[in-house]
């Protein structure tokens, strides 16, 4: 738009506003004021629920603040962090969280990719397949945890029933750290792989058929087509899915909480569960905050790594 | 090698079993009697289906209250999310704003924000405002949880509405805000619906904040409520299963009706899973 035109429009707007009543002026402000007004509720909510809490989180993490004593917050520098480094439960829950992330994110990606490739076949009726991918996504995580706790029940669980039917011994899943951890990881992979599949499926459907037809003409086999056409073209959708999945994996809480309560002992407890315990059960807000700062740092690292990966590969 | 129809049938079967079996198994469990449940080897299909577990699910815990709390929190936070994100998305899609890209990046950054880390400060804020054990304590964070994805979905939809329609409404004496709600929003109804369903499911499913902020029995939401059936040592699995089925039905109905919208929303906006 030329300067003259915009000036003309501006004066026309000013004229109509002078002509209009005060009420109309309130209802029909200029473009910039309007933009500010429209974005204000978002800004207000983000300020209350994200920005102020982040500042408060960092502030609390360098104070001794426990609600059980009722004493006011006392500045204690890095004492909470020092305590944390010497706390074996912190290290164990952090290790569990990182392990869950390292196992379930690639796990969900592989399973999700398989589900997506399967769902991409030309089915006559689309809805059964679509629903089968949507139901696991829509199910609350806590429901999935309870359902799979029942699946893995040592006496009456369907998993052990199947194992026994094919001649293997049943496993007492929740009495040993390793098996309990495996059960949790399998549950998380089941719950999250269909979301991966939905994202990847959408990516698959944007790949033009002509590419495969050309590859057929050139004599490239199915496997080669998958590695050289499908996977490279899927990269953008896979990266997006991976970022979200990794960030949520670091926050894992619902499934171990409902399946094992972190047991046996603290063998399957996650960092989020330890933050929750310190905050809500022990009301030790200072220590809970220091733990949360660590998780915050972990997710920042993940986001930064992925963003670099996207940029490096274009 | 399998090909054509038999292959598609087999693959479809695997997909459906993977997606549906857990819910089906819980349905079978919920219909079994205690005696049948402890038979060995276990039975798959209930031999003598009973609704006794459903009766107990409603009498052992205030299940209708959990449903009501979940429904109201999800509904109110969805409405607030939609209102706030419609306004923001309109500004971002239509108005000349300096730093538009910066604002959009900030919104995307918020969508990957780990809300769990803010448990302590949010707990403090809700406590200071006297909001612990209230719907509002959950509605506000849930709104922020879904705000980024809903805004992104709506920006994309608004950009697809011709400006002429809006201008015509404004010439007819409509204000800009009037044109937004009378022309742009109705024309973007599919987008508004998609965003709304995703916000609703996000709120319906959330567990940690609901567990932490609303400890009063009368304000429990469903995902927290279903964990209360287990005693210290007793796990009444058929009753838990019945309660889970009652919780799954509303969300399943929503998904069955709006499946195509949900898929398009999930894959266009990028979101949490």
Closest Cβ opposite residue B18 in set A132, A276, A285: A132
ipTM of the complex: 0.90
Closest Cβ opposite residue A141 in set B18, B97, B207: B207
Task: For chain A, give the longest Cα–Cα distance.
Answer: 88
CA distances, B143 to each of A118, B38, B52 (Å): 35, 44, 38
Asked whether the beta carbons of residue A41 and residue B267 sit closer than 8 angstroms, the reply is no
CA distances, A243 to each of A20, A55, B118, B263, B271 (Å): 51, 24, 20, 19, 10
The backbone torsions φ and ψ at residue A63, rounded to the nearest 5 degrees and listed phi first, read -125, 155
Q: Which of B235, B199, B208 lies closest to B73, judged by CA?
A: B199
Please tell me if residue A306 touches chain B, with a CB cutoff of 8 Å.
Answer: no
- Cα(A261)–Cα(A146) distance, integer angstroms: 11
Residue A78 DSSP symbol: T
Q: pLDDT for A104-140, tens place per residue?
A: 999 999 999 999 999 998 888 888 999 999 999 999 9
Q: How confident is the model at residue B217 (pLDDT cuts 50, 70, 90)?
A: confident
| Best A12, A27, A38 residue to mutate vs chain B (most B CBs within 10 Å) | A38
CA trace torsion B23, B28, B31, B37 (10° rounding): -120
The answer to which of A261-265, B50-54, B267-271 has the lowest mean pLDDT is B267-271
Cβ proximity of B16 and A132 under 8 Å: yes
Q: How confident is the model at residue A77 (pLDDT cuts 50, 70, 90)?
A: confident
B130: left (phi over 0), alpha (psi -120 to 50) or beta: left
Contact residues on chain A for B38, CB-CB shorter than 8 A = 155-156
The CATH architecture that domain B62-269 belongs to is: Orthogonal Bundle (1.10)
Give the A window 174-213 contacts with B, CB below 8 Å.
190, 192, 194-196, 198-199, 201-202
CA distances, B175 to each of A6, A108, B135, B179 (Å): 20, 49, 34, 6
DSSP E strands in A213-284: the ranges are none
Indicate whether A6 pLDDT > 50. no
Q: pLDDT for B188-207, tens place per residue?
A: 888 898 899 989 999 999 99
Q: How confident is the model at residue A24 (pLDDT cuts 50, 70, 90)?
A: low
pLDDT at A118: 93
CA B227 to chain centre: 18
pLDDT at A310: 63
- Cα(A23)–Cα(A31) distance, integer angstroms: 17
Q: Concatenate the DSSP letters of all residues of B32-81 into one string.
A: S-HHHHT-SSPPSS-SS--SHHHHHHHHHS-HHHHHHHHHHHHHHHHHHH
The answer to which of A182-186, A262-266, B38-42, B118-122 has the lowest mean pLDDT is B38-42
Give the chain B residue nearest A200 (alpha carbons): B267
What's the distance, Cα to Cα, between the start and end of chain B in Å? 35
CA distances, B148 to each of A91, A159, B27, B90 (Å): 33, 39, 35, 14
Q: What's the rounded mean pLDDT across residues B67-91?
A: 96
Q: How confident is the model at residue A90 (pLDDT cuts 50, 70, 90)?
A: very high
Give the chain A residue nearest B40 (alpha carbons): A156
- Cα(B202)–Cα(B77) distance, integer angstroms: 10
Asked whether the beta carbons of residue B123 and residue A285 sit closer than 8 angstroms, the reply is yes
| pLDDT, mean over chain B | 88
Residue B4 or B79, more confident: B79
- Cα(B68)–Cα(B85) distance, integer angstroms: 25
Indicate whether B146 pLDDT > 90. yes
Indicate whether A188 pLDDT > 90. yes
Contact residues on chain B for A150, CB-CB shorter than 8 A = 25-26, 29, 237, 240-241
How far does A223 lie from chain B, in Å, by closest CA? 15
Q: What's the rounded mean pLDDT across residues A240-263?
A: 90
Percent of chain B residues past pLDDT 70, beyond the cut: 96
Neighbours of A301 (CB within 10 A): 11
CA dihedral over B79, B83, B85, B89, signed as positive or negative: positive
Q: pLDDT for B11-68, tens place per residue?
A: 999 999 999 999 999 999 999 988 888 887 788 888 888 899 999 999 989 999 999 9
Indicate whether A23 pLDDT > 90. no
Indicate whether B270 pLDDT > 60. no
- Cα(B184)–Cα(B165) distance, integer angstroms: 8
Cβ proximity of B221 and B66 under 8 Å: yes
pLDDT at B2: 53
List of residues 6+ apart from A270 with CB closer than 8 A: A93, A96, A97, A100, A252, A253, A256, A262
pLDDT at B233: 67
Give the chain A residue nearest B83 (alpha carbons): A41
pLDDT at B112: 78
Start-end ranges of CATH 1.10.3720.10 in chain B? 62-269
Asked whether the beta carbons of residue A250 and residue B87 sit closer than 8 angstroms, the reply is no
Size of the A and B interface in Cβ pairs below 8 Å: 276
pLDDT at A8: 45
Q: pLDDT for B91-142, tens place per residue?
A: 999 888 888 888 887 887 787 788 889 999 999 899 889 999 999 999 999 9
Helix, strand, coil percentages for chain A (3-state, nearest 5): 75, 0, 20
| pLDDT, mean over chain A | 86
Pull the structure tokens for residue A251. Answer: 């926050």
Coil, strand or helix: which one is A284?
Answer: strand
Contact residues on chain A for B272, CB-CB shorter than 8 A = 244, 247-248
Percent of chain A residues past pLDDT 70, beyond the cut: 88
**Homologous superfamily of the A82-313 domain (CATH):** MetI-like (1.10.3720.10)
Residue A30 or A253, more confident: A253
Please tell me if residue A17 touches chain B, with a CB cutoff of 8 Å.
Answer: no
Q: What's the rounded mean pLDDT across residues A248-264?
A: 93
Contact residues on chain A for B119, CB-CB shorter than 8 A = 275-276, 279-280, 288, 292
pTM over 0.90: no
CA distances, A148 to each of A132, A143, A173, B21, B31 (Å): 17, 9, 11, 11, 18
Domain ranges of chain A: 3-61, 82-313
Asked whether the beta carbons of residue A45 and residue B147 sit closer than 8 angstroms, the reply is yes
Helical spans, DSSP H, in chain B: 4-30, 34-37, 52-60, 63-94, 100-111, 119-128, 135-159, 163-171, 176-179, 185-187, 189-205, 208-213, 222-225, 237-257, 259-269
Percent of chain A residues past pLDDT 90, beyond the cut: 53
Closest Cβ opposite residue B120 in set A60, A257, A299: A60
Q: How confident is the model at residue A102 (pLDDT cuts 50, 70, 90)?
A: very high
Contact residues on chain B for A246, CB-CB shorter than 8 A = none
Q: What's the rounded mean pLDDT across residues A208-235?
A: 88
pLDDT at A2: 45
Asked whether the beta carbons of residue B227 and residue A34 sit closer than 8 angstroms, the reply is no
Indicate whether A18 pLDDT > 50. no
Q: How confident is the model at residue A11 (pLDDT cuts 50, 70, 90)?
A: very low
Indicate whether B9 pLDDT > 80. yes
Percent of chain B residues past pLDDT 90, beyond the cut: 49
CA distances, B49 to each of B191, B235, B241, B253 (Å): 43, 20, 14, 23
The top-scoring range by mean pLDDT among A5-9, A208-212, B82-86, B167-171 is B82-86
What angle do the packed helices A285-313 and A231-250 form, to 10 degrees? 170
- Cα(A60)–Cα(A47) distance, integer angstroms: 18
Give the chain A residue nearest B256 (alpha carbons): A131
- Cα(B149)–Cα(B144) distance, integer angstroms: 10
List of residues 6+ apart from B261 with CB closer than 8 A: B190, B193, B194, B197
Let me know the angle formed at the C-alpha of B252 by B249 and B257, rounded to the nearest 5 degrees.
125
The top-scoring range by mean pLDDT among A24-38, A96-110, B166-180 is A96-110
Cβ proximity of B39 and B31 under 8 Å: no
pLDDT at B143: 96
How far does B159 lie from chain A, in Å, by closest CA? 16
- Cα(B137)–Cα(B117) distance, integer angstroms: 16
């Amino acid at each position: 738009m030329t300067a003259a035109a915009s000036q003309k429009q501006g004066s026309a707007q000013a004229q109509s506003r002078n002509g209009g009543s005060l009420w109309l002026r309130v209802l029909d402000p200029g473009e910039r004021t309007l933009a500010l007004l429209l974005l204000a509720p978002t800004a207000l909510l983000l300020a209350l629920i994200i920005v102020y809490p982040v500042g408060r989180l960092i502030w609390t993490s360098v104070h001794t603040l426990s609600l059980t004593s009722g004493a006011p917050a006392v500045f204690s520098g890095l004492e909470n962090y020092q305590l944390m480094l010497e706390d074996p439960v912190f290290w164990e829950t952090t290790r569990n969280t990182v392990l869950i992330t390292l196992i379930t994110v690639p796990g969900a990606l592989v399973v999700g990719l398989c589900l997506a490739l399967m769902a991409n076949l030309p089915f006559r009726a689309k809805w059964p397949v679509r629903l089968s991918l949507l139901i696991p996504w829509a199910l609350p995580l806590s429901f999935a945890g309870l359902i799979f706790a029942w699946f893995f029940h040592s006496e009456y669980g369907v998993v052990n029933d199947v194992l026994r039917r094919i001649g293997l011994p049943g496993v007492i899943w929740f009495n040993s750290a390793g098996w309990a951890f495996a059960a949790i990881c399998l549950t998380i992979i089941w719950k999250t792989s269909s979301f991966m599949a939905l994202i990847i499926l959408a990516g698959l459907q944007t790949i033009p058929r002509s590419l495969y037809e050309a590859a057929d003409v050139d004599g490239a086999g199915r496997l080669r087509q998958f590695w050289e056409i499908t996977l490279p073209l899927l990269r953008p959708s896979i990266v997006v899915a991976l970022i979200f999945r990794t960030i949520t994996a670091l926050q894992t809480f619902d499934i171990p909480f409902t399946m094992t309560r972190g047991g046996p002992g603290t063998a399957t407890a996650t960092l989020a569960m330890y933050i929750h315990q310190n905050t809500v059960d022990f009301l030790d807000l200072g220590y809970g905050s220091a733990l949360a700062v660590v998780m915050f740092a972990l997710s920042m690292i993940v986001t930064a790594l992925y963003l670099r990966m996207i940029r490096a590969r274009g | 090698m399998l090909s054509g129809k038999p292959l598609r049938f087999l693959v479809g079967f695997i997909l459906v079993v993977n997606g549906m079996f857990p819910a089906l198994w819980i349905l079978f469990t919920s219909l079994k009697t205690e005696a049948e449940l402890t038979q060995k080897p276990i039975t798959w299909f209930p031999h003598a289906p009973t609704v006794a577990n459903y009766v107990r699910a409603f009498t052992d815990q205030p299940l209708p209250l959990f449903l009501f709390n979940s429904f109201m929190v999800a509904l109110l936070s969805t409405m607030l999310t939609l209102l706030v994100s419609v306004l923001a998305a309109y500004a971002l899609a239509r108005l000349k704003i300096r730093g538009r890209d910066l604002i959009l990046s900030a919104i995307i950054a918020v969508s990957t924000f780990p809300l769990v880390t803010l448990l302590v400060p949010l707990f403090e804020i809700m406590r200071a405002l006297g909001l612990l054990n209230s719907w509002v304590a959950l509605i506000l964070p849930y709104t922020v949880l879904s705000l980024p994805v809903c805004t992104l979905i709506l920006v994309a939809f608004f950009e697809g509405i011709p400006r002429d329609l809006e201008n015509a409404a404004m010439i007819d004496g409509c204000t800009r805000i009037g044109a937004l709600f009378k022309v742009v929003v109705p024309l973007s109804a599919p987008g508004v619906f998609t965003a709304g369903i995703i916000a609703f499911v996000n709120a319906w499913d959330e567990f940690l904040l609901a567990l932490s902020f609303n400890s009063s029995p009368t304000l429990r939401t469903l995902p927290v409520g279903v964990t209360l059936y287990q005693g210290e040592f007793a796990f009444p699995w058929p009753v838990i299963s019945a309660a889970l089925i009652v919780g799954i039905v509303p969300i399943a109905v929503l998904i069955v009706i709006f499946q195509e919208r949900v898929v398009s929303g999930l894959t266009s906006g990028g979101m949490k899973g």
